[in-house]
Structure 1
Amino acid sequence: MTRRFDFKQLDVFSEVPLKGNPLAVVLGGDGLSVEQMIAFANWTNLSETTFVLAPRHPAADYRLRIFSTSTELPFAGHPTLGSCHAWLQAGGVPKGQEILQECGVGLVRIRRSEHGLAFLAPPLLRSGPLDADMLERVRNGLGLTADAIVDAQWVDNGAGWLALMLKDRRQVLALKPDYHQLLDLAVGVIAPWDRAVDGDAAQFEVRGFIAGDGMPEDPATGSLNAGLAQWMLGKGLAPSSYVVSQGVTMGRAGRIHVEQVGEEVWIGGAVVTCIEGSLTL
């Protein structure tokens, strides 16, 4: 027996359609099996597809399951903001001032912001420096010389990210990864903008590579930027409020807004709906 589900496809971290990170959202997907969710996520061929379900936790407003083209993720940033936008647009009413999303890492706080929506960065599951063998593997996979890397760290908040900091934006934009060497790794690269050369629309340039996934480069990544923010703010390498540019080499113009409020780090951006309809499965 087939069923119909409300469906939206959105662009996250952009005010302009087709310039951010696309996301497929299935609303009211409780009647779908895990096998159907996996098959549909693989079929969309987007970096992530989500299914909004009834919450199990009494404090949550909704529950979210997040799938890449090949696996389920306990947390991801742009699916969190995009799914929240879709839920609100479909008439969802939060129980409190903030929206509480239930997902694999637990409850994630989301709030409305001047830039759209923002989520509270979840705690890092793994941090600290990369070991020498891993650093060498990533350096070779990115085609970098040893002196090009300013610093490197695990910034894993559920998506497996590790990160490298380079000296300037041009180095980041020039990267041509060897995905075979980076297979099964999630690698983020960041460098500061030079205001005199790059302008002031953003303060950092980021690229995110996910070798082995259907989308080997991500155009605008909430989870990666959440981990990067906790790393850089913790080391005093970034101001308490800044903007990240991502997706330039893919023809996108993602903008991720980072704000530290006390001990909390919020990751936000705009979301636009591009497609609305129904899914029959």
Structure 2
Amino acid sequence: MKGRKYLLYDVFTQDPLTGNPLAIVLEAEGLDAAAMQRIAREFNLSETAFVDAPADPKHKARVRIFTPDYEMPFAGHPTVGTAIALSELAGGEDADEIFVLEENIGLVRCAISRNASGPFAEFDLVELPRQLKLTVEPEVVGAVLGLDADEIGFENHRVGLWSAGVPYLTVPVANLGVAARARLDSAAWQEFAPTGTGGSAANVYVYTRDTHDRDNAFHARMFVAGNPSYEDPATGSAAAAFSGAIMHFDQLPEGPTRLWIEQGMEMGRPSRIRLEIDVKGGRMISARIGGHAVKVGEGQLFA
């Protein structure tokens, strides 16, 4: 039986067995959505990317992204990891390049650069972040995270609901100690949560300006509201949504702002996500998510 080649990458990291693991099925032709869903459930990672020929030959590939439970319009670590994998497969180990991936959200422009730290990929946000209506009180948010109401918020940052294609509840907390104690009571959250991707409750993105590494601007954790709930070690789509909160609360200066977000420390899978925001006339006009990725395995899928 002929197999389909797949790759395993760790994304938003330069070190194997850290960051966010990703499965990439390279030969997805002939697979329908139901088959992709079953394969994603077999890998049982936060996301699996499926690569097929693009609709437009000028583009690099068509990429569909599945969690074990539903398909995503786009996601950060599958985009970064797949972009780097496709560049490496094409023999681009020494050259910088720019190409387009076709994802459900639209055409995603990716740029690959290389230096002594290894390959780095960044992609432009197809949708800029927008603030969504939120009716949940901060006290409720604190309670479902096991935190006191006075531990929610810092400076002028307040709880919000933001989306750049995937919605996230953004929850500022006082410091690293508070972030470390956060635990999502998923059953309780289901009662109050706005709707997220796939019809499930919106996922929760906890952040603080207090960081482990002084070179990073924010420390973050992301909890998936499922049964059971689980934590994600590096979440590019959440960072994309979070860029809206940063712009809203921090009033960024004109021109480009580059900052790093650390995530995954509490899980033993440290990661770093680069976020770039361009401001003109007092508003965000574009933004990019970037990170490293490293190959950790490959094989054949007989399905």
TM-score normalised per structure 2 = 0.82
Match of 2:70 in 1: 71
Q: 1:125 to 1:269 in 2, by over 3 A?
A: closer
Structure 1: 4+ residue segments shifted above 4 A: none
CA RMSD of aligned residues (A): 2.4
1:157-176 equivalences in 2 (<5 Å): 157-176=164-183
Match of 1:186 in 2: 203
CA displacement, residues 109-134 of structure 1 (integer Å, 9 cap, x when unaligned): 1112467111112324751452135x
1:52-131 equivalences in 2 (<5 Å): 52-57=51-56, 59-91=58-90, 97-113=97-113, 116-124=120-128, 126-128=130-132, 130-131=134-135
Q: 1:33 to 1:101 in 2, by over 3 A?
A: same
CA contact (8 A) 2:152 2:173 kept: yes
Q: Distance in 2 between matches of 1:252 and 1:73?
A: 23
1:243 alignment partner, one of 260, 265, 275: 260
1:222 alignment partner, one of 199, 224, 236: 236
How much identity, in percent, do the aligned residues show? 34
Name stretches of at least 5 consecutive residues in structure 1 with no aligned partner: none
Shift of 1:163: 0.8
Shift of 1:98: 2.0
Name stretches of at least 5 consecutive residues in structure 2 with no aligned partner: 191-200, 280-284
Shift of 1:3: 3.9
Q: 1:209 to 1:199 in 2, by over 3 A?
A: closer
Q: Distance in 2 between matches of 1:78 and 1:173?
A: 23
- Find the residue that maps to 1:86 and give its secondary structure: helix
Shift of 1:137: 4.0
1:149 alignment partner, one of 131, 134, 152: 152
Q: 1:91 to 1:113 in 2, by over 3 A?
A: closer
CA displacement, residues 208-230 of structure 1 (integer Å, 9 cap, x when unaligned): 01121677110011000111123
Q: Distance in 1 between matches of 2:81 and 2:65?
A: 11
Shift of 1:199: 4.5
Q: 1:213 to 1:103 in 2, by over 3 A?
A: farther
- Find the residue that maps to 2:69 and give its secondary structure: coil
Comparing 217-226 with 179-188, greater Cα deviation is found at 179-188
Comparing 249-258 with 53-62, greater Cα deviation is found at 53-62
Q: 1:4 to 1:14 in 2, by over 3 A?
A: same
CA contact (8 A) 2:127 2:165 kept: no
Q: Distance in 2 between matches of 1:159 and 1:3?
A: 36
Q: How many residues align?
A: 274
TM-score normalised per structure 1 = 0.88
CA contact (8 A) 1:137 1:181 kept: no
- Find the residue that maps to 2:78 and give its secondary structure: helix
